[in-house]
Protein backbone atom coordinates (compact mmCIF):
# COMPACT_ATOMS: atom_id res chain seq x y z
CA UNK A 1 0.00 0.00 0.00
CA UNK A 2 1.28 3.44 -0.92
CA UNK A 3 2.24 6.07 1.62
CA UNK A 4 -0.64 8.25 0.39
CA UNK A 5 -3.18 5.50 1.12
CA UNK A 6 -1.74 4.97 4.58
CA UNK A 7 -1.98 8.70 5.26
CA UNK A 8 -5.62 8.72 4.16
CA UNK A 9 -6.31 5.81 6.52
CA UNK A 10 -4.63 7.75 9.32
CA UNK A 11 -6.81 10.79 8.59
CA UNK A 12 -9.90 8.55 8.67
CA UNK A 13 -8.81 7.27 12.07
CA UNK A 14 -8.47 10.86 13.29
CA UNK A 15 -11.96 11.49 11.88
CA UNK A 16 -13.32 8.65 14.02
CA UNK A 17 -11.71 10.13 17.12
CA UNK A 18 -13.20 13.55 16.38
CA UNK A 19 -16.58 11.92 15.71
CA UNK A 20 -16.56 10.22 19.10
CA UNK A 21 -15.63 13.51 20.73
CA UNK A 22 -18.49 15.23 18.92
CA UNK A 23 -20.96 12.58 20.00
CA UNK A 24 -20.19 13.31 23.66
CA UNK A 25 -22.39 16.43 23.65
CA UNK A 26 -25.86 17.21 22.24
CA UNK A 27 -24.77 20.41 20.51
CA UNK A 28 -21.95 18.73 18.59
CA UNK A 29 -23.50 15.28 18.11
CA UNK A 30 -24.88 15.92 14.61
CA UNK A 31 -21.55 17.24 13.34
CA UNK A 32 -19.71 14.36 15.01
CA UNK A 33 -22.00 11.86 13.36
CA UNK A 34 -21.38 13.41 9.92
CA UNK A 35 -17.61 13.43 10.44
CA UNK A 36 -17.64 9.76 11.43
CA UNK A 37 -19.83 8.79 8.49
CA UNK A 38 -17.60 10.69 6.04
CA UNK A 39 -14.47 9.04 7.43
CA UNK A 40 -16.10 5.61 7.08
CA UNK A 41 -17.05 6.26 3.44
CA UNK A 42 -13.53 7.39 2.59
CA UNK A 43 -12.00 4.38 4.37
CA UNK A 44 -14.22 2.02 2.36
CA UNK A 45 -13.30 3.78 -0.90
CA UNK A 46 -9.51 3.64 -0.38
CA UNK A 47 -9.00 -0.04 -1.38
CA UNK A 48 -10.64 0.62 -4.75
CA UNK A 49 -7.98 3.24 -5.46
CA UNK A 50 -4.97 1.64 -3.77
CA UNK A 51 -5.49 -1.85 -2.36
CA UNK A 52 -1.83 -2.70 -1.91
CA UNK A 53 -2.54 -5.99 -3.69
CA UNK A 54 -0.50 -6.70 -6.87
CA UNK A 55 -2.84 -6.44 -9.83
CA UNK A 56 -5.55 -4.72 -7.75
CA UNK A 57 -8.68 -6.10 -6.09
CA UNK A 58 -10.35 -9.30 -7.22
CA UNK A 59 -14.12 -9.81 -7.48
CA UNK A 60 -14.84 -6.08 -7.67
CA UNK A 61 -18.39 -6.58 -9.06
CA UNK A 62 -19.26 -8.82 -6.11
CA UNK A 63 -17.76 -6.32 -3.67
CA UNK A 64 -19.72 -3.45 -5.21
CA UNK A 65 -22.92 -5.52 -5.16
CA UNK A 66 -22.40 -6.29 -1.46
CA UNK A 67 -21.72 -2.60 -0.70
CA UNK A 68 -24.85 -1.56 -2.61
CA UNK A 69 -27.01 -4.17 -0.87
CA UNK A 70 -25.69 -3.21 2.56
CA UNK A 71 -26.23 0.48 1.84
CA UNK A 72 -29.85 -0.08 0.79
CA UNK A 73 -30.61 -2.23 3.83
CA UNK A 74 -28.93 0.29 6.14
CA UNK A 75 -30.72 3.34 4.72
CA UNK A 76 -34.14 1.70 4.61
CA UNK A 77 -33.72 0.27 8.11
CA UNK A 78 -32.52 3.56 9.59
CA UNK A 79 -35.38 5.55 8.03
CA UNK A 80 -38.15 3.13 8.92
CA UNK A 81 -37.12 2.14 12.43
CA UNK A 82 -39.16 3.67 15.24
CA UNK A 83 -37.48 5.38 18.18
CA UNK A 84 -38.72 2.55 20.40
CA UNK A 85 -36.87 0.06 18.18
CA UNK A 86 -33.50 1.82 18.24
CA UNK A 87 -31.96 -0.59 20.78
CA UNK A 88 -32.95 -3.56 18.62
CA UNK A 89 -31.38 -1.90 15.58
CA UNK A 90 -28.21 -1.13 17.52
CA UNK A 91 -28.04 -4.77 18.64
CA UNK A 92 -28.45 -6.08 15.09
CA UNK A 93 -25.94 -3.67 13.56
CA UNK A 94 -23.48 -4.49 16.31
CA UNK A 95 -23.94 -8.21 15.73
CA UNK A 96 -23.35 -7.81 12.01
CA UNK A 97 -20.07 -6.02 12.77
CA UNK A 98 -18.91 -8.83 15.03
CA UNK A 99 -19.92 -11.47 12.49
CA UNK A 100 -18.09 -9.66 9.69
CA UNK A 101 -14.92 -9.44 11.79
CA UNK A 102 -15.13 -13.18 12.52
CA UNK A 103 -15.56 -14.08 8.84
CA UNK A 104 -12.62 -11.92 7.77
CA UNK A 105 -10.52 -13.50 10.51
CA UNK A 106 -11.42 -17.00 9.26
CA UNK A 107 -10.20 -16.07 5.78
CA UNK A 108 -7.00 -14.70 7.25
CA UNK A 109 -6.58 -17.88 9.31
CA UNK A 110 -6.85 -19.92 6.12
CA UNK A 111 -4.06 -17.77 4.66
CA UNK A 112 -1.94 -18.20 7.79
CA UNK A 113 -2.48 -21.98 7.71
CA UNK A 114 -1.31 -22.09 4.09
CA UNK A 115 1.82 -20.08 4.96
CA UNK A 116 2.57 -22.32 7.94
CA UNK A 117 2.29 -25.41 5.73
CA UNK A 118 4.64 -24.10 3.03
CA UNK A 119 7.06 -22.16 5.23
CA UNK A 120 6.96 -23.27 8.88
CA UNK A 121 7.71 -20.44 11.28
CA UNK A 122 6.82 -17.72 8.77
CA UNK A 123 3.68 -16.78 10.72
CA UNK A 124 4.18 -15.37 14.22
CA UNK A 125 2.19 -16.93 17.04
CA UNK A 126 0.87 -13.56 18.16
CA UNK A 127 -0.65 -12.89 14.73
CA UNK A 128 -2.43 -16.23 14.84
CA UNK A 129 -3.56 -15.60 18.43
CA UNK A 130 -5.05 -12.23 17.41
CA UNK A 131 -6.84 -13.94 14.51
CA UNK A 132 -8.24 -16.64 16.77
CA UNK A 133 -9.36 -14.00 19.28
CA UNK A 134 -11.23 -12.17 16.51
CA UNK A 135 -13.02 -15.34 15.44
CA UNK A 136 -14.18 -16.23 18.95
CA UNK A 137 -15.14 -12.77 20.23
CA UNK A 138 -16.77 -11.74 16.94
CA UNK A 139 -18.89 -14.90 17.01
CA UNK A 140 -19.90 -14.29 20.63
CA UNK A 141 -20.96 -10.77 19.71
CA UNK A 142 -22.99 -11.95 16.69
CA UNK A 143 -24.94 -14.64 18.53
CA UNK A 144 -25.41 -12.60 21.70
CA UNK A 145 -26.68 -9.61 19.74
CA UNK A 146 -29.23 -11.74 17.91
CA UNK A 147 -30.59 -13.02 21.24
CA UNK A 148 -30.78 -9.48 22.70
CA UNK A 149 -32.65 -8.40 19.56
CA UNK A 150 -35.12 -11.27 20.04
CA UNK A 151 -35.65 -10.33 23.71
CA UNK A 152 -36.22 -6.64 23.00
CA UNK A 153 -38.42 -7.35 19.97
CA UNK A 154 -40.44 -9.78 22.12
CA UNK A 155 -39.75 -12.63 19.72
CA UNK A 156 -38.86 -14.57 22.86
CA UNK A 157 -39.43 -14.05 26.56
CA UNK A 158 -37.53 -11.21 28.20
CA UNK A 159 -37.29 -13.28 31.39
CA UNK A 160 -34.02 -15.07 32.20
CA UNK A 161 -33.86 -18.41 30.39
CA UNK A 162 -32.24 -21.04 32.59
CA UNK A 163 -31.83 -24.80 32.50
CA UNK A 164 -30.20 -27.29 34.87
CA UNK A 165 -26.44 -27.42 34.49
CA UNK A 166 -26.14 -24.08 32.67
CA UNK A 167 -23.04 -22.97 34.64
CA UNK A 168 -21.37 -26.31 33.87
CA UNK A 169 -22.16 -26.03 30.17
CA UNK A 170 -20.76 -22.49 30.05
CA UNK A 171 -17.59 -23.55 31.90
CA UNK A 172 -17.06 -26.54 29.58
CA UNK A 173 -17.60 -24.27 26.56
CA UNK A 174 -15.02 -21.78 27.79
CA UNK A 175 -12.46 -24.50 28.51
CA UNK A 176 -13.06 -26.07 25.09
CA UNK A 177 -12.60 -22.67 23.42
CA UNK A 178 -9.28 -22.12 25.22
CA UNK A 179 -8.03 -25.60 24.28
CA UNK A 180 -8.99 -25.20 20.61
CA UNK A 181 -7.44 -21.73 20.56
CA UNK A 182 -4.12 -23.03 21.89
CA UNK A 183 -4.11 -25.88 19.36
CA UNK A 184 -4.90 -23.45 16.55
CA UNK A 185 -2.10 -21.07 17.56
CA UNK A 186 0.38 -23.95 17.63
CA UNK A 187 -0.81 -25.36 14.29
CA UNK A 188 -3.03 -22.92 12.33
CA UNK A 189 -6.04 -24.64 10.81
CA UNK A 190 -9.20 -23.22 9.28
CA UNK A 191 -11.05 -26.31 10.54
CA UNK A 192 -10.14 -25.45 14.13
CA UNK A 193 -11.10 -21.85 13.35
CA UNK A 194 -14.58 -22.92 12.24
CA UNK A 195 -14.90 -25.00 15.41
CA UNK A 196 -13.95 -21.94 17.45
CA UNK A 197 -16.53 -19.87 15.57
CA UNK A 198 -19.27 -22.38 16.37
CA UNK A 199 -18.20 -22.44 20.02
CA UNK A 200 -18.26 -18.66 20.05
CA UNK A 201 -21.82 -18.64 18.69
CA UNK A 202 -22.91 -21.09 21.39
CA UNK A 203 -21.22 -19.07 24.13
CA UNK A 204 -22.85 -15.88 22.86
CA UNK A 205 -26.29 -17.46 23.16
CA UNK A 206 -25.54 -18.90 26.62
CA UNK A 207 -24.17 -15.53 27.77
CA UNK A 208 -27.38 -13.64 27.03
CA UNK A 209 -30.09 -16.22 27.77
CA UNK A 210 -29.83 -15.80 31.59
CA UNK A 211 -30.16 -12.01 31.32
CA UNK A 212 -33.64 -10.63 31.79
CA UNK A 213 -35.70 -7.48 31.79
CA UNK A 214 -33.99 -4.18 32.36
CA UNK A 215 -30.49 -5.70 32.24
CA UNK A 216 -30.66 -6.38 28.48
CA UNK A 217 -29.50 -2.86 27.42
CA UNK A 218 -26.36 -3.28 29.53
CA UNK A 219 -25.56 -6.49 27.67
CA UNK A 220 -26.01 -4.70 24.34
CA UNK A 221 -23.35 -2.22 25.41
CA UNK A 222 -21.05 -5.07 26.52
CA UNK A 223 -21.48 -6.88 23.20
CA UNK A 224 -20.75 -3.60 21.44
CA UNK A 225 -17.43 -3.52 23.29
CA UNK A 226 -16.80 -7.13 22.22
CA UNK A 227 -17.33 -6.18 18.59
CA UNK A 228 -14.92 -3.27 18.95
CA UNK A 229 -12.24 -5.51 20.44
CA UNK A 230 -12.65 -8.08 17.66
CA UNK A 231 -12.41 -5.38 14.99
CA UNK A 232 -9.31 -3.92 16.67
CA UNK A 233 -7.65 -7.34 16.73
CA UNK A 234 -8.60 -7.82 13.09
CA UNK A 235 -7.06 -4.44 12.27
CA UNK A 236 -3.82 -5.57 13.90
CA UNK A 237 -3.80 -8.80 11.89
CA UNK A 238 -4.49 -6.97 8.62
CA UNK A 239 -2.10 -4.12 9.49
CA UNK A 240 -4.97 -1.67 8.91
CA UNK A 241 -4.67 1.52 10.97
CA UNK A 242 -8.29 2.53 10.48
CA UNK A 243 -9.70 -0.78 11.70
CA UNK A 244 -7.30 -0.82 14.64
CA UNK A 245 -8.21 2.69 15.81
CA UNK A 246 -11.94 2.38 15.13
CA UNK A 247 -12.15 -0.96 16.91
CA UNK A 248 -10.20 0.35 19.89
CA UNK A 249 -12.51 3.37 20.14
CA UNK A 250 -15.61 1.18 20.07
CA UNK A 251 -14.13 -1.32 22.51
CA UNK A 252 -13.03 1.33 25.00
CA UNK A 253 -16.20 3.44 24.81
CA UNK A 254 -18.40 0.33 24.97
CA UNK A 255 -16.55 -0.89 28.05
CA UNK A 256 -16.89 2.44 29.84
CA UNK A 257 -20.56 2.68 28.89
CA UNK A 258 -21.20 -0.83 30.21
CA UNK A 259 -19.59 0.02 33.54
CA UNK A 260 -21.50 3.31 33.81
CA UNK A 261 -24.82 1.66 32.98
CA UNK A 262 -24.19 -1.13 35.48
CA UNK A 263 -23.38 1.49 38.12
CA UNK A 264 -26.59 3.35 37.23
CA UNK A 265 -28.47 0.09 37.80
CA UNK A 266 -26.69 -0.42 41.13
CA UNK A 267 -25.08 -3.71 40.15
CA UNK A 268 -21.83 -5.09 38.79
CA UNK A 269 -21.39 -6.38 35.26
CA UNK A 270 -20.87 -9.89 36.66
CA UNK A 271 -24.20 -9.56 38.49
CA UNK A 272 -25.91 -8.53 35.26
CA UNK A 273 -24.52 -11.53 33.37
CA UNK A 274 -24.76 -14.20 36.04
CA UNK A 275 -27.22 -12.81 38.59
CA UNK A 276 -30.04 -15.04 37.33
CA UNK A 277 -28.03 -18.12 38.28
CA UNK A 278 -28.53 -17.16 41.92
CA UNK A 279 -31.89 -15.44 41.50
CA UNK A 280 -30.69 -11.85 41.22
CA UNK A 281 -31.47 -10.83 37.65
CA UNK A 282 -34.34 -8.58 36.64
CA UNK A 283 -37.32 -10.75 35.84
CA UNK A 284 -38.71 -9.47 32.57
CA UNK A 285 -42.45 -9.52 31.83
CA UNK A 286 -44.69 -9.90 34.88
CA UNK A 287 -48.37 -10.06 35.83
CA UNK A 288 -50.62 -7.03 36.16
CA UNK A 289 -51.46 -6.01 39.71
CA UNK A 290 -55.07 -6.18 40.97
CA UNK A 291 -54.48 -4.00 44.05
CA UNK A 292 -56.71 -0.91 44.26
CA UNK A 293 -55.34 2.45 43.09
CA UNK A 294 -56.63 6.01 42.91
CA UNK A 295 -57.37 7.15 39.38
CA UNK A 296 -58.66 10.38 37.87
CA UNK A 297 -59.69 11.90 34.57
CA UNK A 298 -57.87 14.54 32.49
CA UNK A 299 -59.92 17.40 33.94
CA UNK A 300 -58.95 16.56 37.52
CA UNK A 301 -55.27 16.19 36.63
CA UNK A 302 -55.37 19.47 34.69
CA UNK A 303 -56.61 21.29 37.80
CA UNK A 304 -53.83 19.70 39.84
CA UNK A 305 -51.22 20.92 37.32
CA UNK A 306 -52.79 24.36 36.93
CA UNK A 307 -52.28 25.18 40.61
CA UNK A 308 -48.76 23.77 40.79
CA UNK A 309 -45.79 26.12 40.99
CA UNK A 310 -43.18 23.40 40.44
CA UNK A 311 -43.65 20.40 38.15
CA UNK A 312 -41.16 17.70 37.17
CA UNK A 313 -41.81 15.39 34.22
CA UNK A 314 -40.32 11.88 34.27
CA UNK A 315 -40.32 10.39 30.75
CA UNK A 316 -39.96 6.68 30.10
CA UNK A 317 -40.27 3.97 27.48
CA UNK A 318 -44.06 4.30 27.34
CA UNK A 319 -43.64 7.85 26.05
CA UNK A 320 -41.53 6.54 23.19
CA UNK A 321 -44.00 3.74 22.41
CA UNK A 322 -46.88 6.23 22.16
CA UNK A 323 -44.78 8.75 20.20
CA UNK A 324 -46.21 11.39 22.52
CA UNK A 325 -43.11 13.55 22.94
CA UNK A 326 -44.49 16.44 20.84
CA UNK A 327 -47.75 16.55 22.81
CA UNK A 328 -45.81 16.42 26.07
CA UNK A 329 -43.62 19.34 25.01
CA UNK A 330 -46.73 21.38 24.12
CA UNK A 331 -48.22 20.61 27.53
CA UNK A 332 -45.00 21.75 29.24
CA UNK A 333 -45.00 24.93 27.13
CA UNK A 334 -48.54 25.74 28.27
CA UNK A 335 -47.56 25.19 31.90
CA UNK A 336 -44.50 27.39 31.42
CA UNK A 337 -46.67 30.15 29.96
CA UNK A 338 -48.81 30.01 33.11
CA UNK A 339 -45.72 30.64 35.25
CA UNK A 340 -45.05 27.05 36.32
CA UNK A 341 -41.44 25.95 36.52
CA UNK A 342 -41.10 22.63 34.65
CA UNK A 343 -38.09 20.36 34.15
CA UNK A 344 -37.61 16.86 32.77
CA UNK A 345 -35.90 14.36 35.09
CA UNK A 346 -33.69 12.00 33.06
CA UNK A 347 -32.62 8.67 34.55
CA UNK A 348 -29.39 7.24 33.05
CA UNK A 349 -31.10 4.04 31.90
CA UNK A 350 -34.62 5.32 31.18
CA UNK A 351 -35.95 3.71 28.02
CA UNK A 352 -34.01 0.89 26.44
CA UNK A 353 -30.58 2.45 25.98
CA UNK A 354 -28.48 5.35 27.31
CA UNK A 355 -29.65 8.71 25.99
CA UNK A 356 -32.95 7.25 24.76
CA UNK A 357 -35.04 9.96 26.46
CA UNK A 358 -32.62 12.74 25.51
CA UNK A 359 -32.89 11.83 21.82
CA UNK A 360 -36.66 11.40 22.01
CA UNK A 361 -37.20 14.81 23.61
CA UNK A 362 -34.65 16.51 21.34
CA UNK A 363 -36.75 15.25 18.42
CA UNK A 364 -39.64 17.27 19.90
CA UNK A 365 -37.43 20.40 20.14
CA UNK A 366 -37.36 20.35 23.94
CA UNK A 367 -34.67 22.81 25.13
CA UNK A 368 -31.67 20.88 26.37
CA UNK A 369 -31.53 23.09 29.46
CA UNK A 370 -34.81 21.53 30.64
CA UNK A 371 -33.32 18.03 30.67
CA UNK A 372 -31.86 17.46 34.13
CA UNK A 373 -29.88 14.36 35.08
CA UNK A 374 -30.92 12.23 38.06
CA UNK A 375 -28.11 13.29 40.39
CA UNK A 376 -28.86 16.98 39.79
CA UNK A 377 -32.64 16.83 40.26
CA UNK A 378 -33.23 14.27 42.99
CA UNK A 379 -32.94 16.87 45.75
CA UNK A 380 -35.72 18.93 44.09
CA UNK A 381 -38.49 16.35 44.45
CA UNK A 382 -39.11 17.26 48.10
CA UNK A 383 -40.08 20.79 47.00
CA UNK A 384 -42.08 19.69 43.93
CA UNK A 385 -45.84 20.11 43.82
CA UNK A 386 -46.57 17.57 41.08
CA UNK A 387 -44.46 14.92 39.36
CA UNK A 388 -45.87 13.77 36.03
CA UNK A 389 -44.59 10.27 35.22
CA UNK A 390 -45.13 9.43 31.55
CA UNK A 391 -44.42 5.83 30.68
CA UNK A 392 -41.66 5.26 33.26
CA UNK A 393 -41.85 2.61 35.97
CA UNK A 394 -38.70 0.83 37.17
CA UNK A 395 -36.66 4.06 37.43
CA UNK A 396 -39.12 5.47 40.00
CA UNK A 397 -39.85 2.25 41.90
CA UNK A 398 -39.07 2.69 45.63
CA UNK A 399 -38.45 -1.07 45.90
CA UNK A 400 -34.93 -0.27 44.71
CA UNK A 401 -34.39 1.39 48.11
CA UNK A 402 -36.71 -0.46 50.43
CA UNK A 403 -36.97 -4.12 49.34
CA UNK A 404 -33.75 -6.16 49.55
CA UNK A 405 -35.43 -9.10 47.81
CA UNK A 406 -36.36 -7.01 44.75
CA UNK A 407 -34.21 -7.69 41.65
CA UNK A 408 -33.66 -3.94 41.21
CA UNK A 409 -32.60 -3.42 44.85
CA UNK A 410 -29.65 -1.03 45.02
CA UNK A 411 -30.41 0.63 41.69
CA UNK A 412 -30.31 4.44 41.98
CA UNK A 413 -33.76 5.82 41.19
CA UNK A 414 -35.51 9.14 40.81
CA UNK A 415 -36.94 10.08 44.23
CA UNK A 416 -40.42 10.69 42.87
CA UNK A 417 -42.07 9.30 46.00
CA UNK A 418 -40.84 12.35 47.95
CA UNK A 419 -42.95 14.80 45.92
CA UNK A 420 -46.22 16.23 47.24
CA UNK A 421 -48.30 14.69 44.44
CA UNK A 422 -47.50 12.12 41.74
CA UNK A 423 -49.50 11.62 38.55
CA UNK A 424 -48.81 8.38 36.67
CA UNK A 425 -49.79 8.06 33.02
CA UNK A 426 -50.10 4.32 32.42
CA UNK A 427 -51.74 2.13 29.82
CA UNK A 428 -52.44 -0.64 32.35
CA UNK A 429 -51.32 -2.02 35.69
CA UNK A 430 -48.69 -4.26 34.12
CA UNK A 431 -45.24 -3.87 35.71
CA UNK A 432 -42.22 -2.28 34.07
CA UNK A 433 -39.49 -4.02 32.10
CA UNK A 434 -37.97 -5.43 35.30
CA UNK A 435 -41.16 -7.39 35.87
CA UNK A 436 -41.97 -6.31 39.43
CA UNK A 437 -44.82 -4.33 40.96
CA UNK A 438 -44.35 -0.66 41.79
CA UNK A 439 -45.65 0.17 45.28
CA UNK A 440 -45.57 3.87 44.43
CA UNK A 441 -48.75 3.33 42.38
CA UNK A 442 -50.62 2.50 45.58
CA UNK A 443 -49.45 5.45 47.67
CA UNK A 444 -52.13 7.97 48.80
CA UNK A 445 -50.25 10.79 47.06
CA UNK A 446 -50.34 9.00 43.68
CA UNK A 447 -53.03 9.45 41.05
CA UNK A 448 -53.23 7.32 37.89
CA UNK A 449 -54.44 8.52 34.51
CA UNK A 450 -55.05 5.39 32.44
CA UNK A 451 -54.80 5.21 28.66
CA UNK A 452 -52.41 5.56 25.76
CA UNK A 453 -49.87 8.25 26.66
CA UNK A 454 -50.48 10.33 23.54
CA UNK A 455 -54.27 10.24 23.93
CA UNK A 456 -54.05 10.99 27.65
CA UNK A 457 -51.69 13.92 27.11
CA UNK A 458 -53.88 15.29 24.31
CA UNK A 459 -56.95 15.25 26.55
CA UNK A 460 -54.96 16.66 29.45
CA UNK A 461 -53.66 19.48 27.26
CA UNK A 462 -57.16 20.36 26.09
CA UNK A 463 -58.44 20.39 29.68
CA UNK A 464 -55.56 22.59 30.81
CA UNK A 465 -56.15 25.10 27.99
CA UNK A 466 -59.83 25.26 28.93
CA UNK A 467 -59.13 26.39 32.49
**What is the set of active-site residues?**
394
- 90 touches 146 (CB < 8 A): no
CA distance 314 to 277: 33
Question: What is the three-class DSSP state of 388?
Answer: strand
CA distance 224 to 256: 11
Q: Can you state the percent helix, strand and coil of the chain, rounding each to 5?
A: 65, 5, 30
- Our measurement of the distance from residue 372's CA atom to the centroid of its chain's CA atoms, rounded to an integer in Å, reads 21
CA distance 458 to 450: 13
- 94 touches 224 (CB < 8 A): yes
- 194 touches 107 (CB < 8 A): no
The residue ranges of DSSP E strands in 178-230, in sequence order, are none
Length of the chain: 467
Its sign, for the CA torsion 107, 110, 114, 119, is positive
The residue ranges of DSSP E strands in 287-358, in sequence order, are 310-315, 341-346
- 364 touches 328 (CB < 8 A): yes
Of 373, 311, 376, the C-alpha closest to 342 is 311
Burial class (CB in 10 A: 0-12, 13-18, 19+), 85: middle
- Our measurement of the distance from residue 445's CA atom to the centroid of its chain's CA atoms, rounded to an integer in Å, reads 34
The residue ranges of DSSP E strands in 161-315, in sequence order, are 310-315
What letter would DSSP give residue 58? S
Through-space distance between the first and last CA atoms of the chain, rounded to whole angstroms = 72
* CA angle at 196 for the pair 191 and 199, rounded to the nearest 5°: 130
CA distance 245 to 41: 16
Packing angle of the helix pair 166-186, 125-152 (nearest 10 deg):
150
Burial class (CB in 10 A: 0-12, 13-18, 19+), 310: middle
Which residues are bridge partners to 331 per DSSP? none
Question: What is the three-class DSSP state of 221?
Answer: helix
Amino acid sequence: MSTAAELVYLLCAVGFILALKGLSGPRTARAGNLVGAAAAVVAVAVPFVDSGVPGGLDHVPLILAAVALGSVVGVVGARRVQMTQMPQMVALFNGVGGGAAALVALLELDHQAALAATAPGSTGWFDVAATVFTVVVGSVSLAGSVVTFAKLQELMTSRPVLFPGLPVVVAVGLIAAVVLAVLCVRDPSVGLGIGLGVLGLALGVLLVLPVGGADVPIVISLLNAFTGLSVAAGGYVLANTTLLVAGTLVGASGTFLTLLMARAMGRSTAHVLFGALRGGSTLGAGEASDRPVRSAGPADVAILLAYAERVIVVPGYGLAVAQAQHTLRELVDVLGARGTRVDYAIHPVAGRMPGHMNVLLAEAQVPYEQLVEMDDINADFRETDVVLVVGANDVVNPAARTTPSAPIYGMPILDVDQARQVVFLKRSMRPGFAGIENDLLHEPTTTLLFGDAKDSLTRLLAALKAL
